[in-house]
């Protein structure tokens, strides 16, 4: 009896060992398969492509002068798209974005004069190196960067072949434009929004708070050297944060006082830049900031003091000279704003900063 019990115990132990071994191996297999699937998912080029019009590539002569559109978000400005189409000579109009779908296709195509409107939703860095994506962008007669989140554009596109392809278009004077987040990445310096957006109150209270993530070295649209651009200026009360962005570019040594610039654009408004001249279209204003002195206090954890920053507001007709940084023949209203210990003031009657 003792011998039988011992034999049965040995059989049970062997059976348990085999089951444990099988379970362990199965777990390792499943874990490896899951890891491989994750790795495959991370390396997959994720993009969507939408076409309205003809799939045939149309070649148009490159414009003689570089052009750009800075659109301030909100309702799109028809005149800005029509201007891009006219400057491009027609052909293939390409929209790029990191989220969304083909909402721009029927809207732009209905304006006429185009062979096609194509939207590429480019969702990761692998997609920003995909041969098809690069081919469609390289063949564009006009390129527009939709709104969304500029953090996606900086994290997923900067330093990729797509980045190089966009810069090659600009070198050929292909019209380029952007709205909201698309506008935000067209200056030499960008508010990167890597931790989310920031309000004027937060920026003025601490120019180095956790949301104040700036970036450089991505795209620089024509005429926008030294510039940090911001959209939705009036609707979201962003003058204070734009002033703080300019202070940071000086304080961080990115630009000297004489070269630091800020451009703010209201909603439903666009700046049409041709060469070094900018014209406003739409219902709101565009604001051109330039400091006269360096910030007095621009330090982590301390409210901003930054005095006598000149603002030139372009509201009606006329144009703005980006080289001279002044309204042409008095086209812009001129005043100055200051931040004093985080409090924004203006020289305008009534104290308005807009």
Task: List, for residues 12-54, the tens digit of each pLDDT value.
Answer: 333 433 444 334 433 433 334 334 333 334 458 899 999 999 9
Return the bridge partners of 340, or none. Answer: 343
pLDDT at 289 over 90: yes
Per-residue model confidence (pLDDT) at position 210: 98
Residue 228: partners with Cβ closer than 8 Å, 6 or more residues away: 187, 188, 189, 190, 191, 214, 242, 245, 246, 249, 261, 262, 263
Model pTM? 0.87
Q: Which of the residue ranges 18-22, 34-38, 226-230, 235-239 would you say has the lowest mean pLDDT?
A: 34-38
Find, among 352, 265, 349, the residue nearest to 315 by Cα: 265
CATH class of 42-186: alpha beta
Per-residue model confidence (pLDDT) at position 128: 98
> pLDDT tens for residues 114-160?
999 999 999 999 999 999 999 999 999 999 999 999 999 999 999 99
> pLDDT tens for residues 169-200?
999 999 999 999 999 999 999 999 999 999 99
Quote the distance between the C-alpha of residue 23 and its chain's center.
50
Mean pLDDT of 94-122: 98
Quick one: DSSP state of residue 33?
H
Mean pLDDT of 303-325: 97
Q: 148 is written with which tokens?
A: 């969304």
Which helix (H) or strand (E) is 93 found in, with range? strand 92-97
How many residues in the chain? Answer: 354
Instruction: Specify whether the CB–CB gap between 314 and 332 falls below 8 A.
Output: yes
- For every residue of 288-345, DSSP letters joined together read EEE-SS--SB--TTS--BEEEEEEEEE-SSSEEETTTTEEGGG-EEEEEEEEETTEEE
Domain ranges of the chain: 42-186, 200-354
Instruction: Specify whether the CB–CB gap between 75 and 99 falls below 8 A.
Output: no
Instruction: Specify whether the CB–CB gap between 164 and 134 falls below 8 A.
Output: no
Q: How many helices (H) and strands (E) does the chain have?
A: 9, 18
Per-residue model confidence (pLDDT) at position 45: 85
Instruction: Specify whether the CB–CB gap between 279 and 68 falls below 8 A.
Output: no
Per-residue model confidence (pLDDT) at position 43: 52
Mean pLDDT of the chain: 90
Distance CA 208, CA 214 (A): 10
Return the bridge partners of 289, or none. Answer: 262, 311
């Amino acid at each position: 009896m003792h011998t039988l019990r011992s034999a049965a115990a040995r059989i049970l132990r062997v059976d348990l060992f085999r089951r444990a071994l099988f379970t362990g191996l199965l777990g390792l297999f499943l874990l490896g398969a899951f890891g491989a699937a994750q790795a495959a998912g991370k390396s997959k080029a994720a993009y969507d492509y939408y076409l309205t019009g003809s799939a045939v590539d149309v070649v148009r002569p490159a414009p003689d002068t570089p052009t750009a559109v800075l659109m301030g978000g909100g309702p799109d400005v028809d005149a800005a798209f029509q201007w891009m189409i006219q400057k491009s000579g027609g052909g293939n109009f390409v929209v790029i974005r990191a989220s969304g779908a083909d909402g721009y296709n029927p809207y732009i195509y209905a304006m006429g004069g185009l062979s096609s409107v194509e939207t590429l939703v480019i969702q990761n860095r692998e997609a920003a190196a995909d041969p098809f994506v690069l081919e469609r962008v390289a063949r564009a007669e006009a390129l527009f960067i939709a709104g969304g989140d500029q953090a996606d554009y900086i994290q997923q596109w900067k330093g990729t072949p797509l980045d190089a392809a966009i810069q090659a278009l600009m070198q050929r004077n292909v019209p380029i434009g952007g709205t909201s987040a698309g506008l935000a990445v067209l200056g030499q310096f960008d508010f990167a929004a890597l931790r989310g957006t920031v309000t004027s109150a937060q920026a003025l209270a601490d120019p180095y708070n956790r949301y104040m993530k700036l970036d450089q070295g991505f795209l620089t649209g024509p005429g926008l050297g030294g510039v940090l651009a911001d959209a939705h200026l009036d609707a979201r009360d962003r003058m204070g944060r734009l002033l703080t962005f300019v202070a940071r570019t000086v304080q961080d040594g990115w630009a000297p006082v004489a070269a630091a610039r800020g451009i703010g654009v209201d909603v439903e408004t666009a700046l049409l830049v041709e060469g070094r001249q900018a014209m406003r279209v739409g219902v709101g204003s565009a604001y051109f900031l330039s400091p006269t002195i360096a910030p007095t206090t621009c330090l982590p954890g301390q409210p901003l003091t930054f005095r006598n920053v000149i603002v030139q507001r372009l509201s009606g007709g006329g144009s703005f000279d980006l080289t001279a940084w002044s309204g042409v023949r008095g086209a812009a209203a001129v005043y100055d704003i200051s931040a004093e210990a985080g409090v924004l003031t203006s020289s305008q009657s009534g104290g308005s900063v807009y």
